[in-house]
Amino acid sequence: MAEPNGHDSILSVRGVSKNFGGVRANNDVSIEVPRGKIFAIIGPNGAGKTSLLNMISGFYVPDAGEIAFEGKSINGLKPNEIAEHGIGRTFQNIALFRGMNVLQNMMLGRHVLMKTGVLSSFVYWGKTQREEVAHREKVEELIDFLRLNDLRKAPTGELAYGLQKRVELGRALAAEPELLLLDEPMAGMNQEEKEDMVRYVLDIAEQRGTTIVLIEHDMGVVMDISDRIAVLDQGEKIADGTPDEVRANPRVIEAYLGADH
C-alpha cells in the first residue's frame, strides 16, 4: 500500500514511540496525512490511538520519533502553541464549560486568534469591542453551520449529549484549524445523532477544506467517509491504505474487523 509522499501531506508522523512506565502505548508509528482529506485511525481498545492524537496535539511528548505539521517539527510544543499553529482538537470525553452557554463556549475557541485576550473580549471598549464583534460574527456563522441557532444562549450542561458533542466540534472549528483531530466524535450517540455528525464531518472537509484525522469505532462510518485509514494494534501500525485496501488486509481482519467481516 503506497503512502502519500511528504509533499502531499499536511501532517507527518515518523517513527513515533511512547511508553508509560513499562507499558508501550506506541512503537515506531509512522503516518502521512494527505492535505484536505479525512484520515481515520482505527484499532482495538488499547491500540494506542488516543495516545497518538495526544502526541500530535502536544499533551504528550514522544519518547522517540518526530511529528511535523506543514513541514515543520512540532515536537515539544505545548498544546496552546500547537493550536496556534493551526491544529484543532475534540476529546473522547466532552471538555466543555458546562456552566457557560453555547455562544460563550464557542467564543472561547477563538482565543488563539484574539489579540486582546479572551477575557477582555467580553468587555466593550475600543479596540476590544471591534475585535469582539468580528469574532462574534465568525462564531455566529459556525452556530448557523451547526444548526445551533435556537440554543446559542442555552447552558451547555443542560443540552442533550449529541448537542454537547456538536458544540465541542464548533469550539474546535472556531479556531479555524487547518487540521482537525476528532477523538471518537460519535461515541455514545444514537443513530440519528451519528448521521448528523457524519454530515458535519463531511461538510467540514468538503466545504471548508479542513484536513481531518478521525478516531472512530463505528466501522461503517469509517469505511464510508475516510479517504485513508491507518490501523493500530498493540501500539504498532499494522496497515495503512484506502478503505478497500484496509478492509481486505488479513492482519486487519484478524486484529480488528473479525474473520466474519
Pairing of strands 9-20, 23-34: antiparallel
Q: Which amino acid is at 8?
A: D
pLDDT of res. 1? 40
The answer to whether 108 touches 95, Cβ cutoff 8 Å, is no
Looking at per-residue confidence, does 77 or 121 come out higher? 77
123-150: per-residue pLDDT in tens? 554 555 666 677 788 899 999 999 999 9
Q: Mean pLDDT of all residues in the chain?
A: 87
pTM: 0.86
What does 13-76 look like in DSSP terms, one character per residue? EEEEEEEETTEEEEEEEEEEEETTSEEEEE-STTSSHHHHHHHHTTSS--SEEEEEETTEE-TT
Q: Which amino acid is at 130?
A: R
64-69: strand order across its sheet:
23-34, 9-20, 64-69, 72-73
In the chain, ranges of CATH 3.40.50.300 domains: 1-86+177-261
Assign 199 a pLDDT band (cuts: 50, 70, 90).
very high
57-91: per-residue pLDDT in tens? 999 999 999 999 999 999 989 999 999 999 999 88
pLDDT of res. 5? 47
Q: What percent of the chain has a predicted confidence (pLDDT) above 90?
A: 64
Mean pLDDT within 185-195:
90
Say whether pLDDT at 190 is over 50.
yes
pLDDT of res. 209? 92
Pairing of strands 64-69, 9-20: antiparallel
Q: Which amino acid is at 30?
A: S
163-173: per-residue pLDDT in tens? 999 999 999 99
- Cα 105 from chain centre: 17
222-249: per-residue pLDDT in tens? 999 999 999 999 999 999 999 999 999 9
The answer to whether 214 touches 222, Cβ cutoff 8 Å, is yes
- Looking at CATH, the fold of the domain delimited by 1-86+177-261 is given as Rossmann fold (3.40.50)
Mean pLDDT within 204-224:
93
Identify the weakest region by mean pLDDT among 12-21, 93-102, 182-191, 198-207: 93-102
